[in-house]
């Protein structure tokens, strides 16, 4: 009996050590992703639509936001948006992690990697949204009755939103690992949460648009740090093209060139 208990204790300690190592790896992914996102080629492709949509939403913020606030706040939007606070805690990535750990297979290993990258991406994006909110810009449309979670970890600038981050980062990571079919679920949740924040007057349209693109940049930075090779074929087809930027001279005219390795 004593030998059995000792074996259980040793196994538990080893498992705890494995979890600790995985947590350290997630933190490492967060740190490396924070600077690798700026050199990631895929983010150069995200940059154009990110700048265009964010600039447009800033320019037309009042009109777009007023239009949404005039609409009815659906219950599903309200619930999804409020749950964003709960999901800012690592509930989902930890749950996914243990599901992966319970599967002694290639699929289980992929699930564990997904959980680690999702955790790193979510907290990197949350950290960035918190820091950016201290840069003076625009305050929330409605400043009355703000909750503790809306004021404790950020500045007065409502740009960008933090509530949608658990959903938007889950969208980009799901797209990378499991493709567009499964990514539809967090995409819809991202939309629901965004509508709740805008229609309640807690954020402008630009705030949720900015948070969405920050999630994309962070996701690519963490992906580059994680070096995961078994991404979904759809993601590989779109993003893993080994794009290279160079200069071309055609008939005496010099210009930029982009080449892809198909």
Weakest mean pLDDT among 195-209, 212-226, 248-262: 248-262
Write down the mean pLDDT value for the chain: 86
What percent of the chain stands above pLDDT 70? 85
In this structure, the number of other CB atoms found within 10 A of the CB of residue 161 comes to: 28
Question: 106-132 and 165-199 helices cross at what angle (nearest 10)?
Answer: 50
Which pLDDT band holds residue 187 (cuts at 50, 70, 90)?
Answer: very high
Weakest mean pLDDT among 105-109, 128-132, 224-228: 105-109
* 3-state SS record for 184-252: HHHHHHHHHHHHHHHHCCCCCHHHHHHHHHHHHHHHHHHHHHHCCCCCCHHHHHHHCCCCEEEEEEECC
Structure-token pair, residue 99: 């599901």
Which pLDDT band holds residue 142 (cuts at 50, 70, 90)?
Answer: confident
Answer whether residue 4 shows pLDDT above 50: no
Answer whether residue 243 shows pLDDT above 80: no
Backbone φ/ψ region at 251: left (φ over 0), alpha (ψ -120 to 50), beta: left
Return the domain boundaries, the chain: 40-259
CA gap 158, 229 in Å, rounded: 37
pTM (predicted TM-score): 0.84
Which pLDDT band holds residue 91 (cuts at 50, 70, 90)?
Answer: very high
Structure-token pair, residue 172: 């980009």
**Tens digits of residue pLDDT in 92-110:** 999 999 999 988 777 778 9
Q: Report which DSSP code applies to 162.
A: S
Structure-token pair, residue 61: 């913020």
- Phi/psi for 256 (5° steps) reads -75, 150
Answer whether residue 232 shows pLDDT above 70: yes
């Amino acid at each position: 009996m004593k030998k059995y208990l000792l074996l259980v204790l040793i196994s538990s300690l080893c498992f705890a050590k494995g979890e600790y190592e995985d947590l350290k790896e997630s933190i490492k992914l967060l740190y490396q992703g924070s600077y690798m996102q700026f050199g990631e080629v895929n983010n150069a492709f995200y940059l154009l639509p990110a700048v265009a949509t964010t600039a447009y939403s800033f320019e037309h913020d009042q009109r777009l936001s007023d239009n949404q606030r005039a609409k009815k706040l659906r219950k599903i939007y309200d619930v999804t948006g409020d749950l964003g606070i709960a999901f800012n805690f690592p509930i989902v990535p930890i749950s996914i992690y243990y599901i992966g750990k319970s599967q002694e297979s290639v699929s289980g290993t992929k699930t564990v990697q997904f959980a680690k990258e999702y955790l790193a991406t979510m907290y990197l994006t949350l950290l960035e949204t918190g820091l950016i909110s201290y840069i003076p810009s625009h305050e929330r449309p409605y400043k009355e009755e703000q909750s503790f979670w809306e004021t404790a970890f950020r500045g007065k600038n409502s740009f960008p939103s933090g509530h949608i981050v658990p959903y938007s980062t889950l969208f980009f990571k799901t797209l990378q690992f499991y493709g567009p079919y499964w990514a539809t679920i967090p995409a819809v949740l991202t939309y629901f949460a965004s509508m709740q924040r805008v229609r309640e007057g807690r954020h402008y349209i630009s705030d949720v648009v900015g948070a969405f693109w920050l999630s994309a940049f962070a996701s690519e930075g963490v992906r580059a740090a994680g070096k995961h090779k078994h991404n979904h074929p759809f993601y590989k087809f779109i993003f893993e093209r080994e794009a290279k930027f160079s200069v071309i001279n055609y008939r005496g005219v010099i210009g930029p060139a982009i080449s892809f390795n198909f």
